[in-house]
Amino acid sequence: MPSKISEKATHAFALVSLVYSVLLGLSLGTKKGWRLFTYHPLLLTVATSIFVIAAMYKKIGGLQYTRLHGNLSFLGLCLVLGGVSAIYYNKEWNAHSSHFESNHALLGGSVLSIMCILLLNGLIAIHPDWGKLKTNKTIRLAHKMTGRFILVSMCFAIWQGAKKVAPGFYETDVAVGVPAAFWAFLLFWA
Ligand code: HEM
Reference 108, options 78, 90, 87; nearest CA is 87
Q: Whose CA is nearest to atom 1 of ligand 1?
A: 154
With respect to residue 174, please indicate whether it lies within any of the assigned structural domains.
yes
Judge whether 127 lies within some domain: no
Per cent of the chain over pLDDT 70 is 99
* Runs of H (alpha helix) within 61-174: 63-93, 103-120, 137-165
Q: How far is the CA of 93 from the centre of ligand 1 (A)?
A: 16
Q: Is the pLDDT of residue 75 over 80?
A: yes
Cβ of 40 closer than 6 Å to ligand 1, yes or no, is yes
Domain tally, the chain:
1
Query: What's this model's pTM, rounded to 2 decimal places?
Result: 0.95
In a domain, 139, yes or no: no
Confidence tier at 1 by pLDDT (50, 70, 90):
low
For residue 47, which of 18, 71, 67, 27 has the smallest C-alpha distance? Answer: 18
In a domain, 26, yes or no: yes
Ligand 1, atom 37: closest residue by C-alpha: 87
Range of the domain at 184: 7-101+154-189
Average pLDDT over residues 144-165: 98
112 within a domain of the structure (yes/no): no
Q: Whose CA is nearest to atom 28 of ligand 1?
A: 161
